[in-house]
Amino acid sequence: MALYHGKFIDNGFSLAFYKRMLGKNLTIHDLESLDPEFYNSLLWLRENNLNDNDNLELYFNTSYESLGKIENVELKPGGNDIKLTEENKSEYLELMTKWRFTRGVEEQTKAFLHGFNEVFFFDQSNNVLTFSL
């Protein structure tokens, strides 16, 4: 609507959201400005050998609070039974990063991007964004 009425919106999106709009892959480093504590936790996992920290008891799942209730989510099918190890650490970090960017907003993001892509076209080969009504 702002485009239609020629209005400037004086707020922007996060760099991670812009990357998502352009179809770029999000990485663990994109979390740093959005959620420094979460980012540092994942960074610690990445930089430390989990074979030396066998008492972490982490699995391919996570939980979060929603309306006062704790929700549990498997990062992949059977994730409640897949223990995090040094061997599967990269997959865990990738899935956890993806989950953090999409938790609770995936449907809204898809709807926004659908509408955005009806108004704008991004030519990835030339990095050109064009506007059309």
Q: Specify the pairing of strand 69-74 against strand 61-66.
A: antiparallel
What is the number of other CB atoms lying within 10 angstroms of the CB of residue 101? 20
Q: In whole angstroms, give the CA distance from residue 67 to residue 105.
A: 15
pLDDT at 105 over 70: no
* C-beta of residue 99 within 8 angstroms of C-beta of residue 62: yes
CB under 8 Å to 80, separation ≥6 — which residues? Answer: 59, 60, 61, 72, 74
Where exactly are the structural domains of the chain? 15-131
The CATH superfamily holding the domain 15-131 is Hect, E3 ligase catalytic domain (3.30.2160.10)
CB under 8 Å to 125, separation ≥6 — which residues? Answer: none
- Per residue in 51-102, pLDDT (tens digit) is 887 788 999 999 988 889 998 999 999 999 999 999 999 999 999 998 988 8
What is the number of other CB atoms lying within 10 angstroms of the CB of residue 56? 12
Please identify which residue in the block is written with the tokens 């799942």.
Answer: 61
